[in-house]
Every structure is written in C-alpha cells, then in structure tokens.
Amino acid sequence: MNAVTRTLVDITTPDGTADAYLAHPDDGQPHPGVLLYQDAFGLRPHLKAMADRLAAAGHAVLVPNVFYRHGRAPVVALPEFIDMAARPDIVEKVVPLMESLTPGTTERDAGAYLAWLADSPLVADGPVGVTGYCMGARLALHTAGAHPDRIAAAAGFHGGGLASDAPDSPHLLAGRITAELYFAHADEDPSMPEEQIRRLEDALTKAGVEHRCEVYRGAHHGYTQSDTAAYDAAAAERHWTELLALFARAL
C-alpha cells in the first residue's frame, strides 16, 4: 500500500467554486484518477478516509462537495455518529440539498471535476473511474452517461432511484455508457425496490453495457458508511473487494 498525501482543493465550475478533497499516493507520480461521489451527508471525515483507502491502493481520488452551491463543507453540521432514527432533523436538512441537484447540474459539475482531473499532474492520462454512494450512485450513473469518453469504470453502492419512472431517471442513459459498471444494491433498501433493480439490469443488458449488478443480502441502505447506524462491516468489505477489482481491470 502507498503512503497518502491529502489536500483540499477548489474547482471552478460553470456555477461557482466547488471545494473538494484530494488524496493521492505520496510518490510524485501520476496515478489513475477516481471521482468519488458522496452520500446525502456530504464531505466529512468518513468519506475522506474512504478516499485515502483508494489512494493507498494507487489512485488519485477527488471527492467534491456536490452541495457547494449551499456553502463549503460541512454544509450540514453532523454528529460523529449518524443515526437518522434518533436525529430526524438531519433528514430535514439534507433532503432539500439532494433535491437541488438536477441531472443538468450534475452533468455540468461532472464536466468540471473531470476537467480538473485531466489537468492535474497527479492524475495519469486517460479515462478515469467513478464510484458513488447512496445518492452518489445516481450521480455516478449520470456522469458515466454524460461523459462516456472520460469514464472507463463506474460503480454504485446502495443507490436509490436508479431506474425510476421519472423521465430523467439515470438508467435511461444506458445507451450512451461505454464504461464497465458494477452496482451493489442492499436488499433492505426501499429506495431501490426489486422492480427498479430489474429495470436497471434490463436497460444495461439491452444497451450492451458491460456490467454486473448484485444484491447484498441483509444489508441496509448506507451499508458502506461506518459513521452511520446503517453500517454493515461484511458488506462494506465486500464492496471494497469489488470496487478495487473493477478499477484494477479498467483503469
């Protein structure tokens, strides 16, 4: 494993300036780029630790504050341990932030993040990988569809609403995707019911996208997030195995 350098950076977007966290191997060499999309709780120590683990495995990892239009991270003050059942006020604060992200703003922002990675001497030339958690899985799918020339691999974990009835559901971008995809759903996740899992699988298969979709039995929405009550250590480690293997193959 590599020693890791950590930096806070600002990224100019069409709508302003996004603050972001960058982690990369401490060897002065360029490494494959990875864009890591947050869950609803935003850029915080746990997500930085996830980026560090990816960086230690040999990647230059950028974690943008996708809520930057509402302020620099942390946009919402959070406890060290997040239990939504005990703190319903947190949900009330983050839902409007989530709803403010449209497919259009997501795709514009993604273009800025990817351009920043392409310009960084810390990032190797060529396409990059993207991984997203909860709402971030939706952002990952939108990014892979909107920027197929830049994304070689994309993964989403315990994502919700990936194949809804909405006219802008991200699964409708399947025909534009050229990346290899991996999605791991939680079977105890009402935001991604079985009918949407089937719809996503069918769309990717019909479009000829190289992909694998799995359901982690017994896992709940948010199973990778160790600072939340939804955390499942076994499912989280399974996610790491699959994610690192995907990036090793594709990047």
pLDDT at residue 86 tops 90:
no
Tell me the per-residue pLDDT of 132-167, one tens digit each, with 9 for 90 and over.
Answer: 999 999 999 999 999 999 999 999 999 999 999 999
Q: In the chain, where does DSSP find H-type helix?
A: 45-56, 88-99, 103-119, 135-146, 194-206, 233-250
33-47, 58-72, 78-92: which has the minimum mean pLDDT? 78-92
Whether the Cβ atoms of residue 185 and residue 214 lie closer than 8 Å to each other: yes
pLDDT score of 84:
87
Question: The pTM is what?
Answer: 0.98
Q: What are the pLDDT digits (tens) for 153-210?
A: 999 999 999 999 999 999 999 999 999 999 999 999 999 999 999 999 999 999 999 9
* Architecture in CATH of 4-250: 3-Layer(aba) Sandwich (3.40)
On the CB side of 203, CA atoms within 13 Å amount to 22
